[in-house]
Amino acid sequence: MTLEKFYTFSQNSEYLYGVIAHLLIKIIIMIKLNSLTFFIAILLSLSVSVFAQEPEVEMVPADVDETIYVDTDKSVINWKAYKVAGEHYGTLKIKEGVFVFNNNKLVQGTFTFDMTSIQSTDLQGEWADKLNGHLKSPDFFGVEAHPTATFTITKVASRGAEGDYKITGDLTIKGITKEIKFNALMEGPSATASLVLDRTDFDIKYGSGSFFDDLGDKTIYDEFDLDLSIQLK
């Protein structure tokens, strides 16, 4: 090889090496850019995946109170009162009432009783009218001043069996409120209960041997019975 050819070859080689080096630099830059882009894409993908996958929340049904009204036309309260010389019995109407249930369990209730409806059923005619009038007078329930009585359930405790409850609540008669407790049974749309009340707790003292002496056979006992038969709508 002559000096001239060698010099030409050297120049061509340097140019070729320069082109190759330039291409390599571009390739490296492109690889780096692509790698960075790829890396960023991965990060974005992971971020979207992480934020998109919200934790699963177990849907628990909220406790919902269910209100059921009393069918006053089909419900009745039977009362029985005692005296030395015998007894009397009759009925009393429920004016309005409501039971509140939570998860099919009784939790609350309010009731209004129509005291003007109180009547005896063991007597007839004039004797019945006379007793009914006396029960509505101030000697007993004073219905002109106190036409209604109320009861509000404040606590309900299960007695073990389904629908069998111990009820605690506030009974108001003649404007006087007393806490009472009794057992009640609920079977389907029916509720029944029996309880004994002391009338003197509500300032009904007529003929009471606890407050008056020498009444003899005219004595009327303080305690009287109530049997509730309630139908729900």
Q: State the pLDDT at residue 60.
A: 44
pLDDT of residue 34: 55
Residue 227 CB neighbour total at 10 angstroms? 14
Q: For residue 6, what pLDDT is reported? A: 41
Q: State how far the alpha carbon of 190 is from the alpha carbons of 64, 147, 182, in Å.
A: 22, 26, 17
pLDDT value for 158: 96
Which pLDDT value is given to residue 58? 53
Question: Nearest 5°: CA angle at 184, between 181 and 187?
Answer: 165
Query: What SS3 state is found at 139?
Result: coil
Stretches where the chain sits below pLDDT 70 are 1-63
Separation CA 94–CA 118 (nearest Å): 10
Angle at 65 between CA 63 and CA 66, to 5 degrees: 130
pLDDT score at 22: 53
| pLDDT number for residue 165 | 98
